[in-house]
Structure 1
């Protein structure tokens, strides 16, 4: 049964209901305006600054109905009625090899996952390489080998590409850009407009593994922890979910900005609220400990092998069981639900019985993690 705004927030900070609603209006997510005169690292973090940059520069310049959905990929309808998903991504992670993964694996997994989140079965990838003069050929061969192995495992082909070499100092070794395409089954549509109050949120596994693995691999911090990136192709997990929960409304992989930012994007897109339960959010103990030492909320730490799904209430149990049946979804959990109010807002019910608002990511706590 849906609750009122007052019921959701009564155990949080001790404000009168009217004052709580007024404070929510202050925090309510609207696409932020671009106020910067120069690009900063925050513009690449996937949070408020990224949204402002996309809106003010790219959406303004390229505006069209396909782009305006602002998904991770475009849905293209061919003359015969068949639908394709197409997605582009760039990869600049440092270090290029880290516990559990590598730059080459990310380049394939990230593109496959964007296609899977659009409902597509990934099939083809194009790859473009910007190489800095002096980059070691042996390392380039290893990156290509990593990409090839990841593509075979994901069931996709790397079918075309491009290579550019820039002078020494003009790039940081290597940058990779990939574009992927895949076919969407005829009976499958994911959309925030299909989300309804009462729908359940499933998270396919623990938060923050990738971001913290990369952060610690840089060696700048005196922290030792056995944390591995979760980078993986999620298409098999999506297909299991769809078989068990065919009315799934919406999917998004929680990469830059983490689960907190993804939930904010969902709330803005569907016009409803998202209520998360802190005690149900899965976080590995070592990841949680590292985040506490660094003062970072795991809700905002990037993943490369986890997604958030909105499913119909009567399919949530079956969907969760299907996710847990696969090694990639062993730690999956039902972490919250869609609520009618407060609209366009993410609220976290804390372990202490209170509540707090989860805003979009501000700044860039973990730069260059993908």
Structure 2
């Protein structure tokens, strides 16, 4: 339905979220209309308790549905390179895309804290709408709840995504073979480092921005160039190290990384050295780990580097016959160290 034929949407007089905005009455309806319906153009004229999707449209894209759900509790809500709204859309899109799916539809449930400025909520909704439009997905349904002051940090978001996997597409950790190549699409650890700096606790002076981005376009370019790609993962919480440990464990192979090949900004490397952090465990929100047959590795690199989100793509390691499940890093001094699965939380409230 075009904007010109939509019903007239109300304009909120309130400047902050109140308990009434979660009460199910007119205040809540006005909040949803003014903040969310106004931005999420895929929402219908009359809101129902569910979205109704055309099966024929989905069936044209593939023979399997992919579905994912994720919660977002990042602190702070706004950070260099993004905010909780952009993060929610990009994170959900990426979870679908690394499984080979074409992301199509998202739902959005928000838990709002009493006292949250309405202008902040508008900014978050607008950011979600922009990120969805850029990723080619639609936000088609949602829910709103309000909790008392102090019960959450402004807003928590839960998104669920649906996508369609083409019939010929096969991706999975179990497909990894010895001699396969490990590729990442660029700088590692930017999101974790940017969030840490944005919190202001350490008085760090840096221009680092989160790498928050939807990767579905990049992934389509990669799969077109390297159709035998074994598997893809997005390296979010736990970073690249955790993803690679999961891959090594599931494939019963060893993985060896090259320290000198890791694409790390000097600012991220320096921050980690000062704080005693390992950049391999820092979260990313726009980085994928791809396992590709050696014969297609060069084609994969060319495709990734030809995309705006893959200009710094690099081969960082290889799958090997060795101790099953072990990930090691070959250092610049010629030695090796074991890269374990992350134990605990290196940096909480990161996404």
Q: Quick check: TM above 0.5?
A: yes
2:342 corresponds to which residue? Answer: 361
Partner of 2:68: 87
The CA distance in 2 between the partners of 1:88 and 1:214, in whole Å, is 22
The counterpart of 2:282, out of the listed 296, 301, 320, is 301
Structure 1 residue corresponding to 2:113, chosen from 118, 132, 135: 132
Matched, 1:313 2:305: no
Greater relative contact order, per chain length (Cα 8 Å cut-off, separation 6+): 1
In the other structure, the counterpart of 1:342 is 323
Q: Shift in Å at residue 365 of structure 1?
A: 2.1
The list of structure 1 runs, each at least 4 consecutive aligned residues, that deviate by more than 2 angstroms after superposition, is none
Corresponding residue for residue 158 of structure 2: 177
Match of 1:203 in 2: 184
Q: Secondary structure at the match of 2:309?
A: helix
Q: Distance in 2 between matches of 1:337 and 1:365?
A: 26
In 2, distance between residues paired with 1:272 and 1:328?
29
Aligned residue pair count: 293
d(CA) in 2 for partners of 1:319, 1:346: 23
Q: CA deviation at 1:256?
A: 0.2
Q: CA deviation at 1:342?
A: 1.5
Structure 1: give runs of 5+ residues left out of the alignment. Answer: 1-76
C-alpha separation in 2, matches of 1:167 and 1:226: 35
The answer to whether the aligner puts 1:326 opposite 2:307 as a matched pair is yes
Q: Secondary structure at the match of 1:323?
A: helix
TM-score (norm 2): 0.82
| Aligned counterpart in structure 1 of residue 173 of structure 2, from 184, 188, 192 | 192
Shift of 1:81: 7.8
**How far does the alpha carbon of each residue in 1:119-170 deviate from its partner, in whole angstroms, 9 at most, with x for none?**
0011100000011112111111110000001100110000001111112222
Structure with greater Cα Rg: 2
Partner secondary structure for residue 260 of structure 2? helix
Q: Give the Cα separation in 2 of the matches to 1:172 and 1:218.
A: 13
SS of equivalent to 1:220: coil
Is 2:262 aligned against 1:281?
yes
| Contiguous gaps of at least 5 residues in structure 2 | 1-57
Look up the match of 1:166.
147
The alignment status of 1:141 with 2:127, answered yes or no, reads no
Decide which of 235, 260, 271 is 1:254's aligned counterpart.
235
What aligned pairs does 1:45-124 form with structure 2 within 5 A after superposition? 82-124=63-105
Quick check: 1:151 aligned with 2:132? yes
Shift of 1:233: 0.3
- 2:19 aligned residue: none
Question: Which residue of structure 2 aligns with residue 267 of structure 1?
Answer: 248
1:152 alignment partner, SS class: helix
